[in-house]
């Protein structure tokens, strides 16, 4: 009886996605929503779909920004700074698109989301050692 319960728990923990996998999935979802808006630009309901896609992407990047600004963020400082600069670009582009939407303007957001998601989805070969104080 206990062995079957243990096997069920172990199979459940193996199936549970990691934080990186969840982040990648959320970014891929954002990219899909934005790309769908770009591809279906001239269809009815575009304004509503575009607003939803842009707000979803903005909330996602706002969440990431909060994580990267936190004191417990384990990313190397240079990577964290680069990601924060990238997130500032995402914010600017999103607000530009909210005020003056164009299908071409969505391309950069789609590509950024896909590239970051692909990096998160790639298996981590090794963990970076924490930077040491000199």
> Which residues, at least 6 apart from 54, have a Cβ–Cβ distance to it below 8 Å?
34, 94, 97, 98
- CATH number for the domain including 68? 1.20.120
**82 belongs to a structural domain:** yes
CB crowding 44-66: b at 16 or more within 10 Å, else e: eebeebbeebbeebbebbeebbe
**129 belongs to a structural domain:** no
Quick one: tokens of 31?
A: 């990219």
Query: What pLDDT, on the 0 to 100 scale, is given for residue 115?
Result: 96
pLDDT band at 11 (very low <50, low <70, confident <90, very high): low
**114 belongs to a structural domain:** yes
Examine the pLDDT at 47 and tell me if it is beyond 60. yes
Residue 61 near residue 88, CB atoms below 8 Å: no
**84 belongs to a structural domain:** yes
**2 belongs to a structural domain:** no
Q: 45: which DSSP letter?
A: T
Query: What pLDDT, on the 0 to 100 scale, is given for residue 134?
Result: 36
**127 belongs to a structural domain:** no
> What pLDDT digit, counting tens, does each position of 75-105 carry?
899 999 999 999 999 999 999 999 999 999 9
Residue 103 near residue 87, CB atoms below 8 Å: no
84 phi, psi to nearest 5 deg: -70, -40
Domain range holding 65?
17-121
**11 belongs to a structural domain:** no
Rounded distance between C-alpha atoms, residue 13 and residue 64, angstroms: 25
**37 belongs to a structural domain:** yes
Structural domains counted in the chain: 1
Question: Which segments of the chain does DSSP mark as H helices, in order?
Answer: 2-15, 19-39, 46-69, 77-99, 103-121
Rounded distance between C-alpha atoms, residue 58 and residue 43, angstroms: 23
């Amino acid at each position: 009886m206990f062995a079957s319960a243990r096997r069920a728990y172990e199979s459940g923990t193996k199936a549970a996605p990691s934080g990186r996998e969840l982040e990648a999935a959320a970014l891929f979802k954002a990219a899909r929503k934005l790309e769908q808006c770009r591809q279906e630009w001239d269809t009815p309901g575009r304004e509503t779909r575009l607003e939803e896609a842009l707000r979803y992407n903005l909330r996602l990047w706002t969440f990431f920004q909060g994580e990267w600004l936190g004191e417990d963020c384990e990313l190397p400082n240079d990577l964290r700074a680069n990601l924060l600069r990238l997130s500032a670009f995402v914010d600017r582009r999103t607000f530009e698109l909210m005020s003056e939407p164009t299908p071409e303007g969505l391309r950069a957001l789609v590509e950024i989301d896909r590239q970051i998601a692909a990096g998160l989805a790639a298996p981590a070969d090794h963990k970076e050692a924490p930077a040491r104080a000199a």
